[in-house]
């Protein structure tokens, strides 16, 4: 192995400069998405399974002619042994409620990691506005309580 890059002052300085310049070329967003990937660590152990989905049923709310200012496009329910997540997908937002009702956080995760994070209020309600684009999963973490990761949700 040629070690002149290390023994020669000029070569060492040039190599050091190249190493530092290379690191500076890496976009911040590239680094940030790597850091946010860690939020997936260990979450696969609490998968919330899809219990019901109005898109799979013939009697979706919209099909019954129910009209309101914010018609529900689709209703989904996910559950683990410890908690239930009910979602109503509207045109403008996804509105959800977690049972047992407790405050916490919901993260919207796309293929590349966490896209958004919203608070769950004391009654277990949360609003994701606007509706996520593309396929996503929700990671729910209740304060001092259980957490869950839903199956993938797509249109």
Partner 1 sequence: MIQVMRDDPAVVDLVTRARAGDKAAWDLIVDRYAPLIWAVCRRHRLSGADAEDVGASVWLRLVENLGGLREPAALPGWLATTTRRECLFFLGQRDRQVPVEDLDLGSDSGPASDEMLLIQERRDALRQAFSGLPERCKRLLSMLFSEPPMRYAEISATLEMAVGAIGPNRQRCLDQLRRSRPLLNLDDAQPTGGSG
Question: Residue numbers of the site for partner 1 (CB under 8 A)?
Answer: 1-3, 5-6, 9, 12-23, 25-27, 29-31, 33-35, 37-38, 40-42, 44, 111-113
Whether the CB-CB separation of 4 and 10 falls below 8 Å is answered with no
CA 92/CA 35 separation, integer angstroms: 30
Whether the CB-CB separation of 67 and 47 falls below 8 Å is answered with no
The smaller minimum CB distance to partner 1, of residues 19 and 63, is found at 19
What minimum distance in Å lies between the beta carbon of 133 and partner 1? 15
What minimum distance in Å lies between the beta carbon of 8 and partner 1? 10
What minimum distance in Å lies between the beta carbon of 62 and partner 1? 34
The smaller minimum CB distance to partner 1, of residues 17 and 100, is found at 17
What minimum distance in Å lies between the beta carbon of 15 and partner 1? 6
The smaller minimum CB distance to partner 1, of residues 113 and 145, is found at 113
The smaller minimum CB distance to partner 1, of residues 20 and 81, is found at 20
CA 113/CA 66 separation, integer angstroms: 36
Classify each residue of 102-137 as buried b or exposed e, where b means 16 or more C-beta atoms within 10 Å of its C-beta. Answer: bbbebbbbeeebbbeeeebeeebebebeeebeeebb
What minimum distance in Å lies between the beta carbon of 33 and partner 1? 5
The smaller minimum CB distance to partner 1, of residues 6 and 123, is found at 6
DSSP 77-122: EEE-SS-EEEEEEESS-EEEEEES---EEEEEEETTEEEEEEEE-T
């Amino acid at each position: 192995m040629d070690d002149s890059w290390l023994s020669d002052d000029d070569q060492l300085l040039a190599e050091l400069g190249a190493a530092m310049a290379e690191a500076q070329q890496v976009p911040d967003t590239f680094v940030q998405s790597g850091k946010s990937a860690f939020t997936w660590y260990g979450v696969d152990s609490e998968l919330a399974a899809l219990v019901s989905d109005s898109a799979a049923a013939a009697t979706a709310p919209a099909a019954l002619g129910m009209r309101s200012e914010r018609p529900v496009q689709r209703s989904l329910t996910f559950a683990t042994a410890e908690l239930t997540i009910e979602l109503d997908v509207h045109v403008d937002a996804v509105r959800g409620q977690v049972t047992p009702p407790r405050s916490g956080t919901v993260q919207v995760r796309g293929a590349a990691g966490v896209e958004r994070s919203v608070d769950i209020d004391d009654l277990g309600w949360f609003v994701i506005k606007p509706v996520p684009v593309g396929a996503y999963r929700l990671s729910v973490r209740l304060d001092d309580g259980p957490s869950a990761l839903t199956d993938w949700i797509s249109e």
